[in-house]
Amino acid sequence: METLEKASAYYARSMDAADPLARFKEQFYFPQHQGKDGIYFCGNSLGLQTKSTPAAIQQELEDWQTMAVEGYFRARDPWLYYQYNFCKPLSAIMGCREEEVTVMNTLTVNLHLALQSFYRPDKQRFRIIMEAGAFPSDQYALETVVKLHGLNPDDAIIEIHPRSGEKLLETATILETIHHYRDSLALVLMGGINYYTGQFYDMPAITAAAHEAGAYAGWDLAHVAGNIPVKLHDWNVDFAVWCSYKYLNGGPGAVGGFYVHERFGNDAAVPRLAGWWGNDEKTRFKMEKGFIPRKGAAGWQISTAQVFNMAALKASLVLFEEAGITTLRQKSVQLTGYLESLLQQLRLPFEVITPGDPQQRGAQLSLFFPENGKNIHAKMMEQGIICDYREPGVIRLAPAPLYCSFSDVYRFYEVLKNF
């Protein structure tokens, strides 16, 4: 009876009316379908543009136009210090100290930089544990770094597979594998949320197990940042990287996020690849020999801030600060739960492979179609439901809570009912 009531426009509208974040929808541009806003469930791939983004970019264009090089010091938001804008909002989202986080480069580049500091194999400790089916860029990064150290990836990289016949990884399996390789383990590197299944791993337990084994714990948080609040500092995570173009709405190819725990950020002796932007600001322009790292994550910066690339993210983070990551998460649990309950009413031949427990997932639900998934996805797109398809057989739906409504989820259900 309760589920029947939920499958109604009235129920969805009443949820929207009670939603403290409903007003944020108006702050975004939506792709159009037949003259109306499409149903956008693809924020796990590319977030939407905030309406404040064009003005944010325009501001930098104007300051460049009118001040040229002086803009580094005199722009309305001086470019020399541009990256400082991100420390406060990102520390709230990622659960860390402001000094522990920065933005620079892109995710995979930042992963490579972190690996220079946190993967320093020796004869005894040279193994890396990762999840099987990790995002390909992470696989390529690890494979090539291991080779760069003269090691064989087949020996040095241990991939954890789900138990036979299953799609999800049990925490126990991960912890057992870490324990099994404890004598040779250098690093555990996992995606916080697996991009394919949508499974959110037990980050504190896995980080603690890596440390107990004498290894570092690093995380690719591409699908976590702005989706699930985390506590990187308190969980003692060594390093983490993420992109800003998914839930954080920084735009295509937006600048990547980088976190390093303060015990490394405060230690100038931690090895790294350097450039002048990571050098102490007091001596940066003296143009002298001898790299003196800035404190915190900023000590890993290499090059001049890419202001145009960062302006959209800055505009979006203003909305995150207003909404608050905790409130966003509360809505997200409800919204994805609502989507899940309506999916259960459909007759389409799929299985939701994302965990049913909200604590083990973010906004995304992955629908596995044993056959025909690609065609069904194409049909959804034709009907103005924007989501994506990942081989093999998975349609990913991610109602991002900042701009998706309960009525969007209901409209989605209405369309799919007729498939």
Ligand X SMILES: Cc1ncc(COP(=O)(O)O)c(C=O)c1O
3-state secondary structure (DSSP) of residue 338: helix
Compute and round to an integer the Cα radius of gyration of the chain: 22
Q: Cβ of residue 223: shortest distance to ligand X, in angstroms?
A: 6
127, β-bridge pairs: 185
Candidate list 19, 60, 63, 138; residue touching ligand X; CB under 6 A: 138
- The smaller minimum CB distance to ligand X, of residues 137 and 334, is found at 137
Subset of 306-365 contacting ligand X (CB under 6 A): none
Asked if 258 interacts with ligand X (CB under 6 A), we say no
* CA 30, 62, 256, 227 torsion-angle sign: negative
User: Cβ(72)–Cβ(63) under 8 Å?
Assistant: no
Helices first, then strands: H and E counts in the chain: 16, 15
Peptide bond just before 401 cis, omega within 30 deg: no
Q: Cβ of residue 100: shortest distance to ligand X, in angstroms?
A: 20
Asked if 139 interacts with ligand X (CB under 6 A), we say no
Asked if 377 interacts with ligand X (CB under 6 A), we say no
Q: Cβ of residue 95: shortest distance to ligand X, in angstroms?
A: 19
Residues contacting ligand X: total by CB under 6 A: 13
393, β-bridge pairs: none
Candidate list 12, 39, 107, 342; residue touching ligand X; CB under 6 A: 107
Candidate list 137, 266, 327, 360; residue touching ligand X; CB under 6 A: 137
- Secondary structure element (H or E) that encloses residue 114, with its range: helix 107-118
Instruction: Name the DSSP class of 223.
Output: T
Ramachandran class of 34: left when φ > 0, alpha when ψ lies in -120 to 50, beta otherwise = left
Q: Quick one: which segment of 17-25, 103-111, 290-298, 370-378 binds ligand X (CB under 6 A)?
A: 103-111
Asked if 222 interacts with ligand X (CB under 6 A), we say yes
User: Cβ(203)–Cβ(219) under 8 Å?
Assistant: yes
Q: Cβ of residue 143: shortest distance to ligand X, in angstroms?
A: 14
Q: Quick one: which segment of 16-24, 61-69, 101-109, 181-189 binds ligand X (CB under 6 A)?
A: 101-109
Asked if 141 interacts with ligand X (CB under 6 A), we say no
Please give the residue ranges that form the binding site for ligand X (CB under 6 A): 106-108, 135, 137-138, 191, 195, 220, 222-223, 243, 256
